[in-house]
Copies of this chain bind each other. A is one copy, B any other.
Amino acid sequence: MEKANVVIVGAGIGGVRAAQELAGKRNVHVTLLDRNNYQLFPPLLYQVSTATLATGEIAYPVREFFRSCRNVDFRLGEVTGVDVKAREVVTEHGRVPYDYLVLAAGSTTNFFGNEEVARHAFPMKTMEEALAIRNQLIRCLELAEQETDAARRKELLTFVCVGGGPTGVEEAGAISELIYQSMRKDYHHLDFSEVDIKLLEGTGRLLAMMPERLSRDAAARLAKKKVDVRLETMVTGYDGHTLMLKDGGEIKTQTVIWAAGVKAAPVAAALDADYDRAGRIVVNRDLSVRGVPRVYAIGDNASLEMEPGARPLATVAPVAMKEGICCARNILREVRGEETEPFVYKDMGAMATIGRSSAVLSVGKIHAEGFLAWSVWLWVHLLRLAGTYANVTVALKWVLNYFNNARLGRIIVER
């Protein structure tokens, strides 16, 4: 029997889930493409960037998922484009023909066209970027202890996170704990009152997807952790030393972590389709791309309104995972000549941690904060992690971290 070639671009949470759904199915052959040989678990990147977790704990080898699935192949390489007419995906190592294509390439940092900021700020979407931030945080403290010039020392000890979404909130909280709790004892000659951690948000509140009350609660919890939260604050430029604000203000700092926005990975733009402002492909209810037969888009590459005019689904792990399953099943239906079915999704709510044992959580009508919310966050993320070993060590590290602020990854490793 002639097998249909399904090519999946991106071995992220959505892409791998789609491939798993197609694994072992006799009438399809799957080729999974990614420039990394691992599946990254982005929700915990901030813990790598703050020396809590190791790279191997949030990255799982893609081939490990499909060792015994003969109908799923992985190919390492950058995808540079899609040739819809020829039905081929263009990669740095040649072309890969497809009968059905799934775009699950994820997203990249959005600097909104500000080249100067892009050059000097630290994005946090990839493993390499998280490690670069970790190295920077530690190096700043190391150099600050040796720095005799007060102004330069202040610049080294000022850490700015831009963007009040979950990433910015979690990163700011984690940096606060890394420095004030874990590293305080490390530096005998550093005056930690000189440390200044700021979180800048352009709108009037943090965590826009949450109810007002939780946004205020998150801000209060960050303040308790000595994080200077500034709302209604827009960044206009950054030269590596001076962060320029729209209100004319300046912040002297060598560390600006940019969590202010994301956009779909460039490859998503390869189609002749409708896009939203973040470069995401507007998809039909069955996740297929409008006007481009046999092509599906999921996760951060897809913009789906569950009701006409409604806010598109959030680009979060649970959505990507369920969209992976749905598009895989629809492809199987197409192969069998059946009708595709619309994507159904029950919003599981949103949550964000604000450092150890503190979080905010919003599930339907249930709102929670503090230790309870944190415990839920902990379990949800622990169980979502790929790899039993990681489940064990991550749990172990979180326990150690909870009881004695252990940050075992406090090392600077770079090429």
Please state if B131 and A56 are interface contacts (CB–CB under 8 Å): no
Q: Using Cβ atoms and an 8 Å threshold, which residues of chain B touch A70?
A: 188
Q: Are B73 and A36 in contact (CB under 8 A)?
A: no
Q: Which of B68, B185, B390 contacts A68 (CB 8 A)?
A: B185
| Residues A37 and B415 in contact, CB atoms below 8 Å apart | no
Q: A37-B138, A93-B146, A146-B93 are known contacts. Are A64 and B410 too (CB-CB below 8 A)?
A: yes
A231 at the interface (CB under 8 A from B): no
Q: Which chain B residues lie closer than 8 Å to A409 at the CB level?
A: 56
Does A67 sit within 8 A of B, measured CB to CB? yes
Docked complex Cα distance between A393 and B395 (Å): 12
Given contact pairs A36-B412, A409-B56, A67 touches B142 in the complex (Cβ within 8 A): no
Q: Which chain B residues border A189 with CB–CB below 8 Å?
A: 73
CB neighbors of B among A138-164 (8 A): 138-139, 142-143, 145-146
Q: Does A132 contact B (CB under 8 A)?
A: yes
- Cβ-defined contact, B188 with A55, below 8 A: no
**B residues near A186, Cβ cutoff 8 Å:** 61, 63-64, 67
**Docked complex Cα distance between A93 and B38 (Å):** 38
Q: Looking at the complex, which one of B143, B387, B414 makes contact with A415 (CB distance below 8 Å)?
A: B414
A75, B146: Cβ atoms closer than 8 Å: yes
Closest to A412 in B: B37
If the complex has contacts A67-B185, A185-B67, A186-B64, are A411 and B55 also in contact, measured as CB distance less than 8 A?
yes
Please tell me if A59 contacts chain B, counting CB pairs below 8 Å.
Answer: yes
Q: Which of B64, B76, B128, B139 contacts A142 (CB 8 A)?
A: B76
Residues 377-415 of A, flagged 1 when their CB comes within 8 A of B and 0 if not, give 000000000010110110011001000001011111111
| Residue pair A415, B64 in contact (C-beta under 8 Å) | no
Contact B412 A139 (CB under 8 A): no
Residue A267 at the chain B interface, CB threshold 8 Å? no
With an 8 A cutoff between CB atoms, is A16 at the interface? no
Q: How far is the CB of A254 from chain B (nearest CB, A)?
A: 15
A412 to B389 CA separation, bound complex (whole angstroms): 19
Q: A94 contacts which chain B residues (CB < 8 A)?
A: 146
Contacts of A293 in B (CB 8 A): none
B408-A389 in contact (CB<8A)? yes
Q: Which residues of B contact A143 (CB under 8 A)?
A: 76, 93
- In the assembled complex, which residues on chain B have CB atoms less than 8 Å from the CB atom of A146? 75-77, 93-94
Are A188 and B73 interface neighbours, CB within 8 A? Answer: yes
* Distance, CA A410 to CA B131, complexed state (A): 17
* Residues of chain A in range 244-290 having any CB-CB distance to chain B below 8 Å: none
Chain B residues near A45 (CB, 8 Å)?
none
Are A410 and B61 in touch, CB under 8 angstroms?
yes
* A127 contacts the other chain (CB 8 A): yes
Contacts A54-B55, A77-B146, A393-B393; is A128 near B413 (CB within 8 Å)? Answer: yes
- Contacts A127-B413, A389-B396, A392-B396 supplied; 4 other A-B pairs, CB < 8 Å: A37-B411, A55-B411, A67-B186, A75-B142
Q: Which 5 A-B pairs rank lowest in CB-CB distance, beginning with the nearest? A: A63-B186, A76-B142, A38-B411, A61-B410, A415-B415
